[in-house]
Amino acid sequence: MPRPLTLDEIAEELEAGEDPGDIILFPPNDGVVTDEDSGDENEANILHLSSRMLRSQVEIQNRPSISGDNCLDNLEEEEEVEVPAPKKKKENTIKKWYNNVSNTCFTTCGKGDCDEEVFSNSQEEMTAVECFELLYSDDIVKFIADMSNLYALQRNHTLNVTSNEIRVYIAILLLTGYLTPKYMRMFWEVKSDTHNDLVASSIRRNRFFEIQQYLHLSDSSTSLPANDKFAKVREYFTKLNVNFTANFTKAGSSHISIDETIVPYFGRHGTKQHIHGKPIRFGYKLWSAATRHGYLVNFEPYQGASGPSLKMQSELGLELLLF
C-alpha cells in the first residue's frame, strides 16, 4: 500500500501542473488546533498554511479525464433543451365601425315599449269569490271531483266527493296561506287557541283528510307520455291556462313580462330546481307570462334539459312565448 501524501507534497504536485479533482485533508490528532494559519483570514493562499497542516495526510480524488473523440461523443450525447419562444405581446386592434342597414325582417308583435293600455272591461266591480270562480271555473272543479272519484274506485274505495266539497277543500288550503298551524288537525281541536269555527263548521275532519288521500288529477288507467314529467297534472294545467288567457282582458294591463317563477317545494322530485340567491331557492320552476299587477296570463313548467322542447313559434327561437 503506497504511503499517503502530505499536504506539502500535494502542493508540489499542483505546482508541477497536476489537476486533481478534490483534496481531502484528514483531521490531525485530538487537541491540535486546525483552524488557524499564518495568513489573513480573508486571504486563501496555500503558502500561508501552518506546519501541522502541511505535515498532515491528505487524499486526492481525480476527475475523469475527457480528451479526443471521447469528448466529442459526450457532447453529442447531451440532451438538447428546447427553449420556448418568447410570448408575443397582443397588439391592441382598432375596431372600425361602418353604417350598414340590416336586411333582417322582424315580425311586429304588440306595441313594444309604448304606453300601457288599460282595457275597458277591467273596471268591472267583482268580488274576490267572483274573480276566483273565473279562473277556477265549474269545469275545473268538476274535473277534479271526477278524477278523484275514479281514483278512489280504482283503489277499491267509494269517495263520492261533490264539486262543493272540492271548493271547500280548496278554500281551506288557501286559508293555510294566512293561518299556518303546525298540523292541519289543529283546526278541529277544541282548544280555543287552535280551533277554527269557519273550518270546523264547513267540513268534518275525517272527510277532509279522506278527500286529501284520494285527490287526483288524471286517469291512472290510461298510459301517460313517457317524456312528460308533469303528465299527471298536464290536463289540469291546460285547463288553467285556458281560463287565464280567456280572462286576460280583465287584468287591466297590456304589458306582459316573461320570466321564471319558483313554486316552493322541499320534497323529492326529478324536476325540483335550486336557484342560489333567490328568495325561494328550492321548488318547481315555471316559465310565466304575467302583468306588472301580478296576473298570471300563461305558464309552462320547466322539466330540465331532458324534458320535451317547446314548439318553435318564431324565427328568432323565442320558445318562451306560449301563446
Confidence of residue 14 (pLDDT cuts 50, 70, 90): low
Question: Between these two residues, 74 and 194, which has the higher pLDDT value?
Answer: 194
57 touches 26 (CB < 8 A): yes
Q: Report yes or no on 185 lying in a domain.
A: yes
Q: Report yes or no on 6 lying in a domain.
A: yes
Would you state the cell numbers that stand for residue 296, as one nine-digit string? Answer: 298570471
Q: Is the pLDDT of residue 220 over 70?
A: yes
Dihedral angle computed from the Cα positions of residues 112, 118, 120 and 123, in that order, rounded to the nearest 10 degrees: 150
State pTM to two decimals: 0.59
- Looking at residue 161, what is its pLDDT? 96
Counting the structural domains of the chain, the total is 3
Would you state the cell numbers that stand for residue 63, as one nine-digit string? Answer: 476527475
- Looking at residue 16, what is its pLDDT? 65
- Looking at residue 108, what is its pLDDT? 55
- Co-location of 199 and 261 in the same domain: no
244 touches 297 (CB < 8 A): yes
Query: What percent of the chain stands above pLDDT 70?
Result: 62
Q: Is the pLDDT of residue 28 over 70?
A: no
- Looking at residue 260, what is its pLDDT? 85
Mean pLDDT (whole number) for 85-107: 71
Mean pLDDT (whole number) for 1-28: 64
- Co-location of 254 and 204 in the same domain: no
Q: Is the pLDDT of residue 33 over 70?
A: no
- Co-location of 137 and 190 in the same domain: yes
The region of weakest confidence among 6-15, 200-209, 254-263 is 6-15
Question: Between these two residues, 147 and 225, which has the higher pLDDT value?
Answer: 147
Confidence of residue 272 (pLDDT cuts 50, 70, 90): confident
Residue the block writes with cell 323565442: 318
Cα 53 to Cα 4, 37, 276, 297: the distances in Å are: 14, 8, 79, 104
Identity of the residue numbered 55: R
Q: Report yes or no on 221 lying in a domain.
A: no
Q: Report yes or no on 55 lying in a domain.
A: yes
The last residue of a domain, from among 170, 194, 214: 214
HSE toward the beta carbon, residue 207, CA cutoff 13 A: 15
Q: Report yes or no on 220 lying in a domain.
A: no
Orientation of helix 234-246 relative to helix 128-135, angle to 10°: 130
- Looking at residue 83, what is its pLDDT? 76
Q: Report yes or no on 313 lying in a domain.
A: no
Mean pLDDT (whole number) for 1-26: 64
- Looking at residue 320, what is its pLDDT? 46
Mean pLDDT (whole number) for 233-252: 88
Mean pLDDT (whole number) for 9-31: 63
141 touches 166 (CB < 8 A): yes
Mean pLDDT (whole number) for 216-236: 89
The region of weakest confidence among 104-108, 204-208, 233-237, 249-253 is 104-108
Confidence of residue 276 (pLDDT cuts 50, 70, 90): confident
- Looking at residue 275, what is its pLDDT? 80
Average pLDDT, the chain: 77
- Looking at residue 151, what is its pLDDT? 95
What is the extent of the structural domain holding 193? 130-214
- Looking at residue 323, what is its pLDDT? 42
Question: Between these two residues, 172 and 310, which has the higher pLDDT value?
Answer: 172
Q: What is the pLDDT of residues 279-289, one digit of tens each?
A: 888 898 888 99
253 touches 294 (CB < 8 A): no
Q: What is the pLDDT of residues 39-93, one digit of tens each?
A: 555 555 656 666 666 666 666 666 555 555 555 555 555 556 677 878 777 777 7
- Looking at residue 247, what is its pLDDT? 87
Residue the block writes with cell 277591467: 122
The dihedral region occupied by 80, where left means phi > 0, alpha psi between -120 and 50, and beta the remainder, is: beta
- Co-location of 191 and 143 in the same domain: yes
Q: Report yes or no on 180 lying in a domain.
A: yes
Q: Report yes or no on 238 lying in a domain.
A: no
Q: What is the pLDDT of residues 184-193, one digit of tens each?
A: 999 999 998 8
Cα 127 to Cα 124, 131, 134: the distances in Å are: 10, 6, 11
